[in-house]
Amino acid sequence: MIKTIAWKNNTVILLDQKALPLNERYITCRTYQEIISAIKDLTVRGAPAIGVAAAMGAALGAAALSSIPPEKFRHKFSAICAEIAQSRPTARNLFWALERMKKHLEDSIKSGSKNLVQELISEAKRICTEDIEINRQMGKNGRALLADGDNILTHCNAGALATAGYGTALGVIRAAKAEGKNLHVYVDETRPVLQGARLTAWELQKEKIPATLITDNMAGFLMQQGRIDKIIVGADRIAANGDIANKIGTYALAVLAKAHGIPFYVAAPLSTIDVSIKTGATIPIEERSGTEVTHLRGLPIAPAKTKVYNPAFDLTPARYITAIVTERGILRKPYLNSIRTASKGNPGHETISF
């Protein structure tokens, strides 16, 4: 299995996703500041993987606090979490993981735990192992949506690399393949950072799942030619009404899918759902450096000083989404109802207020 992230001897080991597919190398983070840099520069990326990295980063920060009284520890830990929360704005999992770590600290203080640092390290490791279990469950829940012989289009990387392991959208594809279905995947290269070409194509090759790489602007033509049976993508944040934020280019695919009568599926854990917001309109969309657009691997592909707009994500309204695969089953429209039902009893999600 591809290992994206691991806690080892009070350090965090990350597969360096910037170096793929040319180099398969791991980096070691010893401080929470190093985790912040790794999230910012996309060494670790993909909503669930960012969440796990944030939790482990918070645990690294806690481990560096010398033995201080709980009141002070809480204050300092809170400040560390607030700093990590600034690393990227869109993926809900980042904030979810930090909230869970803070809640665990409160519970540990209340129960009189003598070793708060160890408590936080254990919680971060739990978030990591649970993520893999959740992805496997999503795979089992979603695999029936894919039929033997399907040609599936995916965008960005929602695979093992984007999670602690197994993947969300690619997890569903993995699970369908594991039950004997023959599938073929069209991989959008995903400009400007090329998560599809560099990461998804690499993962699928490792898994021996037949795949064909296309540039993003080819997707519409393939749909018109009847070459695509289904589309499945991940999500960075899902609003209570089912609107999703995902990698830039997702919205165009969803609209095209509707025009061609192609099912458009999203696979994401409940930790990606933000029940505090009613629609996608208020999801913060990250804007990244213009050099991601003007340069390829350090080489300029546009005239110097070219003006650039580089939103990293876009919003897909719920009406374009055929179904959302979660660890609690397949959610259908109206999503406000199905999300409310799926969220019941899930810590941090009960408070859907509309």
**236 noted as active-site residue:** yes
Q: Measured from the CB of residue 3, what is the shortest distance to ligand MRU in angstroms?
A: 16
Q: Which residues pair with 300 in a beta bridge?
A: 295
Nearest to residue 83, comparing CAs of 10, 48, 31, 45?
A: 31
Site string for ligand MRU, 219-238 (x = CB under 6 A): --------------xxxx--
Size of the site for ligand MRU (CB under 6 A): 18
Single-letter amino acid, residue 300: P
Crossing angle of the two packed helices 32-40 and 70-84, in degrees rounded to 10: 20
Q: Measured from the CB of residue 32, what is the shortest distance to ligand MRU in angstroms?
A: 19
Q: Is residue 195 a contact point for ligand MRU (CB under 6 A)?
A: yes
Q: Measured from the CB of residue 188, what is the shortest distance to ligand MRU in angstroms?
A: 11
The CA distance from 66 to 56, in Å, is 18
Q: Is residue 142 a contact point for ligand MRU (CB under 6 A)?
A: no
Q: Is residue 271 a contact point for ligand MRU (CB under 6 A)?
A: no
Residue 91 CB-half CA count within 13 A:
31
The CA distance from 216 to 191, in Å, is 7
The CA distance from 67 to 256, in Å, is 57
Strands (DSSP E) contained in the chain are: 5-8, 11-15, 26-29, 151-154, 184-188, 211-214, 230-233, 237-239, 244-247, 264-267, 273-274, 295-296, 299-300, 313-316, 323-326, 329-331
With H, G, I as helix, E, B as strand and everything else as coil, classify residue 84.
helix
Q: Is residue 4 a contact point for ligand MRU (CB under 6 A)?
A: no
Site string for ligand MRU, 70-109 (x = CB under 6 A): ---------------------x------------------
Q: Is residue 294 a contact point for ligand MRU (CB under 6 A)?
A: no
Within 8 A by CB and 6+ apart from 1, the residues are 160, 165, 166
CB atoms near residue 45 (< 10 Å): 26
Interface with ligand MRU by CB under 6 A: which range of 62-70, 154-162, 224-232, 292-300? Answer: 154-162
Residue with smallest beta-carbon separation from ligand MRU: 234
Q: Measured from the CB of residue 132, what is the shortest distance to ligand MRU in angstroms?
A: 12
Q: Is residue 137 a contact point for ligand MRU (CB under 6 A)?
A: no
Q: Is residue 121 a contact point for ligand MRU (CB under 6 A)?
A: no
Catalytic residue among 131, 150, 188, 236: 236
Binder of ligand MRU out of 156, 160, 183, 201 (CB under 6 A): 156
Contacts (CB under 6 A) with ligand MRU, residues 34-63: 45-48
Q: Is residue 273 a contact point for ligand MRU (CB under 6 A)?
A: no
Bond from prior residue into 334 cis (ω within 30 degrees of 0) = yes
Q: Is residue 326 a contact point for ligand MRU (CB under 6 A)?
A: no
Catalytic positions are 236
What residue ranges bind ligand MRU (CB under 6 A)?
45-48, 91, 156, 158, 162-163, 168, 195, 233-236, 246-247, 312
